[in-house]
Amino acid sequence: MRNHLRAAGRVLRVEAADPCEFDFARAVVGQSEAAVAERRAAGLRLRHIEGAVRCLAAVDAEGVLRGQAFVLRDRHTAILMHQWFDRTGPRGTPTLLVDSAVVQTLESPGVNSFDFEGSVIPGIDRFMAGFGAQAVGYGQFRWQQDGREEPAGRFG
């Protein structure tokens, strides 16, 4: 992981970006345009709350956007909700983005945990474990066909 951080850190800078500029279409793959639009609306719904939504962008020396991370935050926890990276870009881009999101978020007053938001894909689980992540069960929202929600989330 350190090699990936060094490689990406030599050619990319990570900077704060407007959450409205996050490219949900690149981060939410294999779903309909309507589903992507719903995720975008849900993610941005909290942007009026100070510090609740953060977008980080990995940019190369020519100003080309090579990846982004979208982080939601409550009082004590930050959640890596979405991330994407240009697979033709520099090696280590996703590692640099996640590392930057963790470091910047845990420097925020009151935040004491970073939730990688889980995965059912073994390769992603291994990647997250490289940051010291531990699997922990947590509540979920479940949307019913009749439109009802079963609340179980942090931001309710």
pLDDT given at position 86: 93
Q: Which residues of the chain have pLDDT under 50?
A: 152-156
Q: Choose among 91, 90, 92, 68: nearest CA to 81.
A: 68
Percent of the chain with pLDDT over 70: 76
Q: What is the pLDDT of residues 9-54, one digit of tens each?
A: 777 889 999 999 999 999 988 889 999 999 899 889 888 888 889 9
Q: Which helix (H) or strand (E) segment is 17 a member of? A: strand 12-17
Distance, in Å, from the CA atom of 114 to the CA atom of 80, rounded to the nearest integer, reads 8
pLDDT given at position 116: 77
pLDDT given at position 34: 93
